Amino acid sequence: MLVFFPKKIASGCYWPSSRKRIKSVSSMIRVLFICLGNICRSPLAEAIFNHKVIEKELEGTIHSDSCGTSDYHIGEQPDERSMQCAKNRGILINHRGRQINRLDLKDFDYLIVMDQSNLQKVKNLMDIHGISHSHLYLMREFQPNAAHSDVPDPYYGEADGFEEVYDILEESLENFLAKIIEDHHLHV
């Protein structure tokens, strides 16, 4: 299976391209970002991460996706505040909400969860299916000196909560990508 990855468009934003062919997803390093509904934190993490991957010219090596532990927003676009927050920083989000499934636990090399509650839900799903995973992390494990272990859920707040989440994700993802580069001896 061939996949297509984002390209930079004139506005400085990134948008999916149908022109750049990349090797099959199964042969790539695969990262899954997980939150509750898959409309705020995890699609924002996916978009920021993809932006960083493109900047380092690793889009043919690393693939990411996002999902939620709940089925609340399956098929929906991300929250408008997440999309606007990303757009303000030159990143476009192209995602539809989906729920985590058994195959995700097997197919992704890294599972990055936004908070303790959803981490427990992922662990419960792993137990149900008898699956273990060696690269299951909380996002803020990659944020040095983080005051809390959870990325706060901005859904019930105002736009400034999304900006705070963006800043947390930006720093955490920079460090996470550095770990992947080091662990897999990638050349950038």
Of the candidates 48, 45, 22, 17, which has an alpha carbon nearest to the alpha carbon of residue 32?
45
The strand pairing partners of 62, in sequence order, are 29
81 is catalytic: no
Cβ neighbours of residue 174 closer than 8 Å, sequence gap 6 or more: 52
Strand order in the sheet with 136-138: 62-68, 29-35, 110-113, 136-138
From the list 79, 104, 115, 153, the catalytic residue is 153
140 is catalytic: no
Evaluate whether 166 touches 86 at the Cβ level (below 8 Å): yes
From the list 40, 41, 81, 85, the catalytic residue is 41
> What's the rounded Cα separation, in Å, for the pair 102 and 170?
28
From the list 35, 40, 67, 85, the catalytic residue is 35
153 is catalytic: yes
Evaluate whether 50 touches 14 at the Cβ level (below 8 Å): yes
Q: Six-digit token pair at 137?
A: 């992390």
> What's the rounded Cα separation, in Å, for the pair 68 and 41?
10
**Which residues are identified as catalytic?**
35, 41, 153
